[in-house]
Structures are given as C-alpha cells and as structure tokens.
Amino acid sequence: MKRCTVFLLSVVVCAAADIQSSIVEEIVAKVNGDIITRGDLTHAKKEMEDAMRQQGAPAVTVETTLKEREPDILRDRIDRILLISKAKDLNINVDSELTKYMADLQRQSKLADPEKFQDYVKQETGMPFEDFKSETKNTMLTQHVIRQEVSGKMKLDKATQQKYYDEHKNEFIREEKVYLREILISTAGKDAAGLAASERKAKDLSARAKKGERFPEMARDNSDAITAKNYGELGGFKKGELSSSVEDQIWEKPRGFVTDPIKVDAGFLIIKVDEHQKAGQAELSEVENEITEKLMEPKLQPEVRAFLTKLRQEAFLQLKPGFVDTGAAPGKDTTWSDPATLKPETVTKAEVVTKARHKKLLWVVPVPGTKAADTSTSK
C-alpha cells in the first residue's frame, strides 16, 4: 500500500514511486491522535463563505462576518476533535441512533435503492456518502458529550422559574391557536380506480391514527405533502387562518383529535390536533420549558467553553508557530516540538484526503453552546 509520511518539516507528502509526488497537506496542529491541516482551515472558511452567499447575504456582510469568524476556525476544529475523543473515553455509542437517522433520511428522500440514495446524499451535501455518514456520527457524538457532561448537569430550581414567571407574565399571554399535523394522500392524475385506492388508504391511516399509532411517523412514511419530511408538522394557526372545511372540524377539538379524511383539491387530508392553546395568561406549568430555555441559554456557552478548556488541559496539543487557538487553556504549553526530536509519523493518503471537508452539510446541527457558524448546517 502507498503510504504518506509526516516528515520533519511537518508537511504530509506521498511516498509514490514516481518523481511527481508532491505536498498534499501542511499540518498546523496535532490534537491527541488527530491532525488539523492548513487545508482544513481553508475549506472551513470557504464553506462559511459559500453558505452565506447561498443565503443571499450582501458582499459587505460576508466580508465582515468572515473577518470576525476566521480567528476561531482553528479553535472550532480543535473543539470538535476534543469532544469526539471524549466521547470515546466515555464509551458513548451512537450506532443505533445513526442507523435510524440514515433510515429516516432515506425514507424522506423516497429513494428505496441504496445506490440512488447515496448519490442523492452526495449531490445534496457535496461529499461522498461514507464521509457524510462519518460527519453525522461525529456530530452526534459531540452532542451527546455536551448533554452528558455540561447541559445535563446544569440545574434550574423551581423558585428561579417562579421568579422569572412572576416578573415577566406579559411574555406569557397567549392568543388562541391550534397546532396541527397533516397527512395528505394525493389524487393528482389518478383515474377512478386510483381515486378509490387513495380514499381507502386515507381511511385506513385515519383509523390507525385514532387507535394511537404515532402520527408523526405515519406522516413521514405516507404523506404526499411537502411537510412529510417534518413529520407532517404544520405549525400554529389563529382562528380564521384555516380553510373553513378544516377549521370547522378541528377548532373545538382537544389535543390528540384526528379527523376523518377530508376531501380537498389535492386529495384526501387527515389532520391531527397537536395542541390547542387557549387565549389568556399561560400557567407556569405550561411555560416551564420555555422559561428554562430562556434562563439556561446564556449560561450554556460559558459552561461549554469551560469544559472545552478542561479538555485542552488534559489533551496532547501542539500548534505550529504562527497559528493561534483562540480557546487556548491558560498555562497550557502547546509549543510545536523540536523537529529534531520527532520520529516520522505516517498516515495513508486516504486518511489525508478525508480531511477535505464538504461544501455544505444538511440535517447536521453544530455543537450546542459554541459559536459555530450558524450558516454551516441545515436539517
């Protein structure tokens, strides 16, 4: 097998048989058993820029944002490696979660053929399927570590919740709304036999939902509406915002109510009432989660940062001169070792190539509590 060697100049080169072998990547940081290359940083900056431009950000905004975030790119790369390493130390396993996640994505894509699904992922994310799968797994690992080691240990007592509620009651005055989910069985382009089959399917789904089968998964797997990928979620509606054919059937109904199939222009529609929010002052019990999120959010980032500082203190971490970790642990020596004392390290060419990052990553959430670019992902 062809190997790539990390020579004393700290660049990765391929030891190929022909004389045309050249530098693949320059290593700028070593974190535990992993490396960060100059190319990683370049790719991360390019991803950020592409994402902002795709969202229509003005050129001046792109330039200003890149200038603000560029110093933290190396920090964020180190953060990710440290969290993944900690996940291994904690024996966190996300294989079953990953399998379910990928299966859900495949169902949403409506591509039963594995090869077509993998091609779809590559087209949507700009990266090979296996790389996307690996990145998704790593993101799940980082999220589990943050929940287990940081947010899961943060407590908010009832007295603090009550105090916030009493002082901000005007924030919790509600308008009457219904929150709905839908399943649409399309009849577009169908003949009489197709229409009858669609109606039978809709009646069957409605009956199953009324018996307690999980509506979100039923919507995901059966609905022809665009909301299927979001488990049929429609959001909240005030009185008068829905068509009368729907509103008349659901407005006075309680949470959990499921309609019979409703004939609409596009086909047969089944609606479930996820929540019916009454008008007036919300009770504390109704808004506890909202209050917790409001109070914990500003505390989470400093706690995550403190945890990552602790991981840095415990880690093997070396930075090449000229590169700065903006999340550096105070007193931590990250001096690049004297090359004369280093033994050559080797990595395969494939391992180096996988350092090239994707153009964009759909469905993946950045590490909570960090200042990761909010333009880097989408679900």
Cα Rg, the chain, nearest whole Å: 26
Cα separation values, 258 from 99, 126, 182, Å: 30, 40, 10
Residue (of 254, 252, 257, 283) closest to 270 by Cα position: 257
- Lowest mean pLDDT across 173-177, 180-184, 208-212, 252-256: 173-177
In percent, how much of the chain has pLDDT > 70?
Answer: 83
**Residue 16 pLDDT level (bands cut at 50, 70, 90):** very low
**Residue 348 pLDDT level (bands cut at 50, 70, 90):** low
Region 38-61 average pLDDT: 88
Region 215-239 average pLDDT: 90
Domain extents in the chain: 3-153+296-378, 176-278
Which residues neighbour 299 within 8 Å (Cβ) at sequence distance 6 or greater?
154
Higher-pLDDT residue of 360 and 79 is: 79
Region 165-189 average pLDDT: 91
CATH of domain 3-153+296-378: 1.10.4030.10
Can you give the pTM of this predicted structure?
A: 0.62
Specify the pLDDT at position 17: 41
**Residue 226 pLDDT level (bands cut at 50, 70, 90):** confident
Specify the pLDDT at position 354: 53
Region 367-371 average pLDDT: 45
**Residue 107 pLDDT level (bands cut at 50, 70, 90):** confident
Specify the pLDDT at position 292: 85
Q: Is the pLDDT of residue 191 over 80?
A: yes
**Residue 24 pLDDT level (bands cut at 50, 70, 90):** low
Per-residue H/E/C for the chain: CCEEEECCCCEEEECCCCCCCCEEEEEEEEECCEEEEHHHHHHHHHHHHHHHHHCCCCHHHHHHHHHHHHHHHHHHHHHHHHHHHHHHHCCCCCHHHHHHHHHHHHHHHCCCCHHHHHHHHHHHHCCCHHHHHHHHHHHHHHHHHHHHHCHHHCCCCHHHHHHHHHHCHHHHEECCEEEEEEEEEECCCCCHHHHHHHHHHHHHHHHHHHCCCCHHHHHHHHCCCHHHHHCCEEEEECCCCCCHHHHHHHCCCCCCCECCCEEECCEEEEEEEEEEECCEECCHHHHHHHHHHHHHHHHHHHHHHHHHHHHHHHCCEEECCCCCCCCCCCCCCCECCCHHHCCCEEEEHHHHHCCCCCCCEECCCCCCCCCCCCCCEEC
Q: Is the pLDDT of residue 126 over 90?
A: no
- Lowest mean pLDDT across 125-129, 221-225, 314-318, 322-326: 125-129
Amino acid at 167: E
> Which CATH architecture does the domain made up of 176-278 adopt?
Roll (3.10)
> Would you say 29 and 316 are in contact if contact means Cβ atoms under 8 Å apart?
no
> Would you say 207 and 199 are in contact if contact means Cβ atoms under 8 Å apart?
no
**Residue 317 pLDDT level (bands cut at 50, 70, 90):** very high
- Lowest mean pLDDT across 98-112, 197-211, 337-351: 337-351
Region 194-211 average pLDDT: 95
**Residue 350 pLDDT level (bands cut at 50, 70, 90):** low
**What does the alpha-carbon distance between residue 11 and residue 281 come to, in Å, rounded to a whole number?**
64
Q: Is the pLDDT of residue 230 over 80?
A: yes
